[in-house]
Structure 1
Amino acid sequence: MSVEGLSVLVTGAGTGIGRSIALCAAREGAFVTAVGRRAEPLREVADKSPGTIEAVPADVTADGAPERIVAAALERFGRLDAVVNNAGLARFGRLADTGLDELDAMLAVNVRAPAALIRAALPHLEPAHGSVVNVSSVAGTLAMPGRAYYGAGKAALNSLTRSLARELAPAVRVNAVLPGPVDTPLWHGAGMTEDEQESLRAGLLADTPMGRFGEGDEIAGWVCRLIDPEQSGWVTGALIPVDGGRTA
């Protein structure tokens, strides 16, 4: 890959897919601003690549957070070449049992925060001919009974990706990866009992032709390729499913 020397900002970088993305970019020679709500997991990520990963604890939905996050990346690395919007929130439940406050919370993290961060980073991404990668989900393309709010938010993120790809071209590329089921801590905050989690997991595996859950590194590899201007310099507006055949 040709990401060496690039300054890459990754949200939700303390655990799961975001952690894998931050470490993938660092291994390939990028400088990484790793953002997340909890300081300790971020420090653990930064300790794996001293000098190339900067831990920035922040809640992406807080007032002024996008500007502070971008400023931290610029202060540490002097430039900003790519933004990876990976931070996400999942709350599952049937419509009759799930309040609109849950919808509002998911839209704040999964749609509003990415839009705000792209907007804050744009003055720095444009002169760098940089890129944005949004980590969405196949939930944004499939019917999801019991997960309608979550799917609606990811569908909105997909639409944001494609529209901004046209709006910001040719200066900034905007793409998304759409993971299928990946075993991450996101599951544990989805508002389900253990039995409900196991039932959902069994159903997802039955609907996945590859017969297993994905791994964070499998998603991270595609994100790093989309950041790479040599491999993906002519790729924008793409929604790339990395889902074990879930959407086939």
Structure 2
Amino acid sequence: MGLVVAVTGAGSGLGRALAVRLAADGTRLLLVGRRAERLLRTREDCLADGGKPGDIVTLPVDLAEPGAAAAVRDAAVAAFDGLDALVNNAAQARFGPLDDTDVDTFVRLLRVDLVAPAALIRCVAPLLRRSRGTVVNVGSIGGLLAVPGRSYYGAAKAGLHHLTRSLARELAPEIRVNAVLPGAVDTEMYDDLGIDDDAVARLRAEMVRTTPLGRMGRPEDVVPWIVMLLGPDATWMTGSLLVVDGGRSC
């Protein structure tokens, strides 16, 4: 039987691409996201790429809401009797100057980008101890770079990076905890940044201009590194922050 992996934010972008790749490798998947219809499209893509119907389960849930972590744990147990890995990919991004961005926006970012991953890890830790499993958090180079207008998002991701390294020590040796830190990856996230279309266009141009490899990333540029961290080649890796950004953070 294949590994059992829960992927959050599986309805679009990087999460969907990762799910399809894992399904093709025979992984049993719990697909987690806010929108049921998007999860069902991801499931269809997984089945088209070789996944088996009984091996691909969807769970529509808002991870920022109370009880969401327990719902993920319970769904994994009900469908697969356990869990081998958790990929904390779900995230929200909001950009804007400090004076124009209220604190409630920051609180929501922290709930989605930091508190929810922490709650999920805590809730499924007994399952991962039993399987000697692994956690992969999807961070961002936004948590490394100091960029005006992106302080809230950067602070949330920096917190996730610290959580990764701290829990890698705390949960070892039974559970490995690593993170992948993508640069600018061209996904649906850029349609929902809380800024207008002209600002998004300028942002995209800036990302390309400041990336040494001359383009934004694609989900398929990042997915193989997550797959590697989930697999047998990474059994001596924990606490790593793996940067995949086209050189932008150099």
Q: Tell me the TM-score normalised to structure 2 length.
A: 0.96
Pairwise mapping of residues 131-210 of structure 1 onto structure 2 (< 5 A)? 131-210=134-213
Per the alignment, residue 64 of structure 1 pairs with 67
Letter in 1 for 2:244: V
Give the residue type in structure 1 aligned to 2:23: A
Could you say which residue in structure 1 is the equivalent of 2:243?
A: 241
Aligned to 1:35: 32
In the TM superposition, what whole-angstrom CA distance separates every residue of 1:187-230 from its partner, at most 9, and x where no partner exists?
Answer: 111111110001111111111011111111221111111011x2
Distance 2:189 2:34 in 1: 14
RMSD: 0.9
Following TM superposition, the consecutive aligned residue runs of length 4 or more in structure 1 with deviations greater than 6 angstroms are none
- Identify the match of residue 112 of structure 1 among 111, 115, 120: 115
Query: Structure 2: how far apart are the matches of 1:24 and 1:118?
Result: 23
Q: State how far apart, in whole Å, the 2-side matches of 1:145 and 1:185 are.
A: 22
Does residue 24 of structure 1 match 2:21? yes
3-state secondary structure, aligned to 1:236: coil
- Give the superposition deviation at 1:21: 1.2
Match of 1:211 among 193, 211, 214: 214
Q: 1:29 deviation in Å? A: 1.3
Cross-structure match for 1:12: 9
Q: CA deviation at 1:69?
A: 1.1
Shift of 1:64: 0.6
Q: Which has the higher contact order (CA 8 A, sep 6+)?
A: 1
C-alpha deviation, 1:41, in angstroms: 1.0
Q: Which runs of 5+ in 2 are unaligned?
A: none
Shift of 1:23: 1.2
SS at match of 1:133: strand
Whole-Å separation in 2 of the counterparts to 1:21 and 1:117: 19
Question: How far did 1:152 drift?
Answer: 0.5
Partner secondary structure for residue 11 of structure 2: coil
**How many equivalent pairs are there?**
244
**Gapped runs of 5+ residues in structure 1?**
none
For the pair 1:95 / 2:92, whether they are aligned, the reply is no
Secondary structure of residue in 2 paired with 1:182: coil
Q: Give the residue type in structure 1 aligned to 2:70.
A: E
Q: Distance in 2 between matches of 1:28 and 1:179?
A: 23
Structure 2 match to 1:55: 58
TM-score by length of 1: 0.96
SS of the residue aligned with 1:127? helix
Seq. identity, %: 48
Q: Give secondary structure in 1 for the equivalent of 2:40.
A: helix
Superposed displacement of residue 161, structure 1: 0.2
Q: For residue 238 of structure 2, what is the amino acid of its counterpart?
A: T
Q: Given residue 5 of structure 1, which amino acid in structure 2 is its aligned partner?
A: G
Deviation for aligned residue 1:231: 0.5
The whole-number CA distance in structure 2 between the counterparts of 1:151 and 1:63 is 24
Question: How much does 1:246 deviate?
Answer: 0.8
